Chain A
Amino acid sequence: MSVMTSRRFLVLSFSVLLGAGWLPDATAQVQPQSACQNATAPRTAIYFVNGVTTTLDEARLNGGKLELEFLSKLPTMAPAVQAMCHLFFLNINPTSGAVKDFLEAGQQRLGFTSTIFWQGLEGFGLATSGVIAPVLQRPISSADQIDQAMITRHATAYREQIAFPSCRRVLIVPHSQGNLYSNVSFDSVFTQALPPPLGTLKIVGVATPADRVGGKGLHRTSSTDVLINGIRLVLPATLDANTNWGISPLLFSPAYSGGHSFIGYLTAEPSRTQILADMESSLIALAAVNPC
């Protein structure tokens, strides 16, 4: 096969994949979890914490995507995970101020119109522009550098879920900047008076700019995440890339070309399967601990 022929084949293949990704899908009614019909079944609270490029609406969609993908995989997960009723929540990381800064910078420095900005908020252009990365590069070990009121709000929510009468195990799935806040919230939960039992709170980080995961939790960062790769150049201690999006056509679409989108992480393979596997193993560990 000549170089030219193989190139045409690759381009054609990507075009087909791009089209396939955009095919309409059928409406599918999600069935209730069987464990949730049992009042005595143990409960878990699964929290999504959004990143800095995520507005309130996107946070809802990201949390919804997490719920959909998790529930689709649940029937094949370990019996201990299927035996629990999983409830989904958002802990919002307010980003309106930061996104407004990105909007102004995008318009002034990159010449984006408003429409183009909103279509490419997690795209290659903004991810490589140097506009977003500085927000994620601040010192992450000092809690006074970040929004303490938000940390308190998040930590309180986790503690209330774990405490009587809720008695729920908690799994946090933060994306991007949400990892920085979740690590500090985790520390806050266990450094206050009368901390909950160890092992009742776990984190599975996605696209993390941090150098650790609270509670020695798991993480997945893609090798094609342009934003985190840029941060790792400046902060070499940033956690390693340990997944990827394969040859996903998402990397060639305006909305996902930065390789950083949470929706992208839960759509492309193998990142999707690996994140769900990390959630499953974390939930198995959580099932072994009694919160009350």
Chain B
Amino acid sequence: MRWWCRETGSLFLRGAVLSGLLVSCSGENAPSSSLNQTESLAGVDADANGVRDDVDRYIDTTYADQTSADLNKAVRQYAKAVQSSLVDADSQTQSLTHATERFRALECLMARRPREFHTIFVDVRAQLLNTPSRSEAYLKADDQVKTANLPLLPADQWMTACQS
């Protein structure tokens, strides 16, 4: 029993260290930091598709293969809705509109990847909110709709939330 506890404890510590390394390797100093990011809230969107260029590159790199084409679109739909939320976080009306857009995008993501949607979400949101000002704008947008009753689609209709 003692041996098992020692081994399990050791393993847990290794896992925790590994987890830390995984976090460190995927943080702001990971490959994405070499991309041309700016510190402004909106960042650079040269192709005017509603998604910051560094996030566009992240999505295209992460979901590059043919089998991920549907996921590439779903993640970009969410990224676009978050970007709008950040830029319009001072407006309660716009925040409500964009929160609804985020819900539709997340329902699309759940329809596309019903088992792994959460890890995909965690990673792309971390890319989107990579500065304190963007993080604070995201939370401010949430605060604008804290008493709203946002409509949900039932699971059998989530696919209809996907934009073509």
Produce 1/0 per residue, A25-47, CB < 8 A to B.
Answer: 10111111100000000000000
Nearest-neighbour CB distance to chain A for B158, whole angstroms, equals 7
Q: For residue B133, which residue of chain A has the nearest CB?
A: A114
Say yes or no: is A99 at the interface (Cβ < 8 Å to chain B): yes
Q: Are A114 and B130 in contact (CB under 8 A)?
A: yes
What B residues does A32 contact at CB under 8 A?
Answer: 154, 156
Give the interface SS of chain A, mostly helix, strand, loop or mixed. Answer: helix
- Distance in angstroms from B12 CB to nearest chain A CB is 8
Interface flag for B62 (CB, 8 Å): no
Q: Which of A90, A116, A117 contacts B24 (CB 8 A)?
A: A116
Residues of A within 8 A of B152 (CB): 60, 63, 88-90
Asked whether any CB of chain B lies closer than 8 Å to the CB of A123, the reply is yes
Q: Which of A30, A114, A123 contacts B132 (CB 8 A)?
A: A114
Does any Cβ of A come within 8 Å of B22's Cβ? yes
In the bound complex, how far is the Cα of B139 from the Cα of A170, in angstroms?
30
Q: Does B16 contact A124, Cβ atoms closer than 8 Å?
A: yes
CB < 8 Å neighbour of A115 from B106, B110, B127, B146: B127
> Do A55 and B142 contact each other (CB < 8 Å), given the known contacts A115-B127, A251-B15, A253-B19?
yes
Q: Are B139 and A123 in contact (CB-based, < 8 A)?
A: no
Is there an interface contact between B155 and A253, defined as CB atoms closer than 8 Å? no
The CA of A23 and the CA of B11, in the complex, are separated in Å by: 23
In the complex, whether A136 has a CB less than 8 A from a CB of chain B is: no
CB nearest to A153 among chain B residues: B147
Tell me if A142 is interfacial: C-beta within 8 Å of chain B.
no
Could you tell me the distance between the alpha carbons of A30 and B140 in the complex, rounded to whole angstroms?
Answer: 34
Does A254 reach chain B (CB closer than 8 Å)? yes
Are B114 and A118 neighbours in the complex by a CB distance under 8 Å? Answer: no
A29→B156 contact, CB < 8 A: yes
Closest B residue to A13 by beta carbon equals B11
Is A27's CB under 8 angstroms from B111's CB? yes
A11, B11: Cβ atoms under 8 Å?
Answer: yes
List 7 A-B residue pairs with CB atoms under 8 Å apart, sorted by A's residue number.
A7-B10, A30-B156, A97-B143, A103-B139, A119-B126, A120-B23, A254-B26
- Which 7 A-B residue pairings sit nearest by Cβ, starting from the closest? A94-B146, A252-B15, A25-B115, A30-B155, A96-B142, A118-B126, A96-B139
Question: CB within 8 Å of B: which residues of A?
Answer: 3, 6-7, 10-11, 14, 22-25, 27-33, 55-58, 60-61, 63-65, 67-68, 71, 87-90, 92, 94-97, 99-100, 103, 107, 113-120, 123-125, 149, 153, 251-255, 257, 263
